[in-house]
Amino acid sequence: MIIIAPFAKKLHSIKNNPKNYPYWEELIQKIPKNIHIVQVGVEGEKQLVHEFYKNLPISELKQLILQCRTWIGVDSFFQHLAWDCQKPGVVLWSVSDPLIYGHPENTNLLKSRDYLAQNQFLWWDFTEYNPDAFLKPEEVIKYIL
Domain boundaries, the chain: 2-144
Average of per-residue pLDDT across 108-123: 95
Domain covering 2-144 assigned CATH 3.40.50.2000 in the classification:
yes
Residue-level pLDDT at 133: 98
Residue-level pLDDT at 25: 98
126 against 109, higher pLDDT: 109
Residue-level pLDDT at 145: 83
Residue-level pLDDT at 92: 98
Q: How confident is the model at residue 109 (pLDDT cuts 50, 70, 90)?
A: very high
Residue 72: exposure state from Cβ atoms within 10 A (0-12, 13-18, ≥19): buried
Could you report the per-residue pLDDT of 15-36, keeping only the tens digit for each?
Answer: 899 999 999 999 999 999 999 9
Could you report the per-residue pLDDT of 38-60, keeping only the tens digit for each?
Answer: 999 999 999 999 999 999 999 99
**Coil, strand or helix at 127:** coil
Distances (CA, A) of 14 to 11, 54, 125, 129: 7, 21, 9, 12
Q: How confident is the model at residue 84 (pLDDT cuts 50, 70, 90)?
A: very high
Whether 113 contacts 132, CB under 8 Å? no
